[in-house]
Amino acid sequence: MKVKGLLTVALFLFTSALSAQTAAIKGRVVDRLNRKPITEAVVRVDGMDLAPVQVTDKGEFIIEGLAPGDYRLTVTAPDFQQTELGVKVAATPDTKDVGMVILAPDVTSAATTTATEAADEYGDFDDETSLSDAQNLPSTLRANQDVFDQAARWNFGTMRFRNRGYDSGTADINLNGIYYNDAMTGYSPYALWGGLNDVTRNSQTSSALGVLDSGLGGINSVTDIDTRPSAIRAGTNVSAMTNSASYALRLMATYSSGFNAKGWAWAVSASTRQGGNNWVKGMYYNAWSYYAGVEKRFGFNNRHDIALMFMGAPTVRGAQMAATQEAYDLLDNNYFNTNCGYQDGKVRNTHLRNYH
């Protein structure tokens, strides 16, 4: 009797100890662009009455008190797209490490910024596009013989008119036949080749569900940019521009050899965009871009070619953000920049774009 009683007590204590052991989920929330921690992120467990978890200064979080099972986490942060992920907790006690939770910038939030902020966030538009819509594609890359398409994307762009009602994320952008839209947002990272106008001006465009040599397009058109040395006009081209809303001066130089008698072609291009504007404080531009490529044509009737190219566009700039009419009225200045302030007597910008 005593033995049976002791066994019952021991089994009860063992069961109580097991029930007291719980699992946990931990991870780290980072920015997709630079892998820096997003300190404003909040993590929630869907379907459970648990308080939201605020991440630490290092972007880390831990959710405790969980039983084995399947969970869905929702991660949110200002100016970032919401992300959901499924996590399976197999046993207790256990801490499931989901690693880095990567959040992408919210392009719809970026669209509410000013014209300059919108244009430069998604690439160098060189004032040839609708600067009020962050998702609008540069007209230079969409140029074709369609009169409506030209008017819709350029003349009506300032009124946030969307061609066929679609975001530009539904338009495919190919670089030398390779699909280049962002895998998470669908938008094209024009900043990767910003300033290389002479190199990227050669393109094919087809509206709607069109077909190009590189393949089928998206539901809102397809553009294929050809950056091979043979596609660049042979000769030397040097240009300068000073009338831009984003920068004070742009210098660009390009040389292309064209094909020689042995079937070789090569090209180089470089540009710089410097300065800011004189009416909005805190805005400045320090951008460079470079390109070099070599191409060999061979085979029967020269029907084959192989090319090697590399290019980049390191850029640092101070951005302007939108403000309310009340702020403009209080300061009697319609060019007030909410990002701008003074530190140690010098104008500083709290919103810098730094990418390469």
Whether 105 contacts 79, CB under 8 Å: yes
The domain boundary residue, chosen from 87, 104, 121:
104
Task: Verify that 61 and 179 share a domain, yes or no.
Answer: no
Predicted pLDDT of residue 312: 92
In terms of domains, do 175 and 314 share one? yes
Instruction: Give, for 85, the enclosing helix (H) or strand (E).
Output: strand 83-89
The answer to whether position 7 is within a domain reads no
Q: Tell which of 89, 104, 119 closes a domain.
A: 104
| Distance in angstroms between the alpha carbons of the first and the last residue of the chain | 78
Full-model pTM: 0.59
Phi-psi region of 123 (alpha: psi -120 to 50; beta: other; left: phi over 0): left
DSSP 129: S
Domain count for the chain: 2
Q: What are the pLDDT digits (tens) for 166-224?
A: 776 787 888 888 888 888 777 777 778 888 989 988 887 777 777 777 777 778 788 88
Residue 127 lies in a domain: no
Residue 189 and residue 288 in one domain: yes
**Residue of higher predicted confidence among 67 and 150:** 67
Q: Which two tokens mark 11? A: 């089994």
Report pLDDT digits (tens) over 214-255: 777 778 788 888 999 988 988 999 999 886 666 788 999 999
Q: How far apart are CA 273 and CA 308, in angstroms?
A: 26
**Is residue 117 domain-resident?**
no
The strand ranges marked E within 132-263 are 172-175, 178-179, 203-206, 211-212, 215-216, 222-225, 235-241, 249-256
Burial 54-67 (b: 16+ CB within 10 A, else e): ebeeebebebeebe
Q: Does 190 lie in the same domain as 78? A: no
Q: Is residue 22 part of a domain?
A: no
- Does the residue 248 lie in any domain? yes
Which residues are registered as beta bridge partners of 343? 346
Q: Are residues 307 and 214 in the same domain?
A: yes
Q: Are residues 261 and 340 in the same domain?
A: yes
Q: Is 137 contained in some domain? A: no
Does a structural domain hold residue 302? yes
| pLDDT tens digits for range 94-120 | 788 888 898 888 754 443 333 333 344
Domain that holds residue 85: 32-104
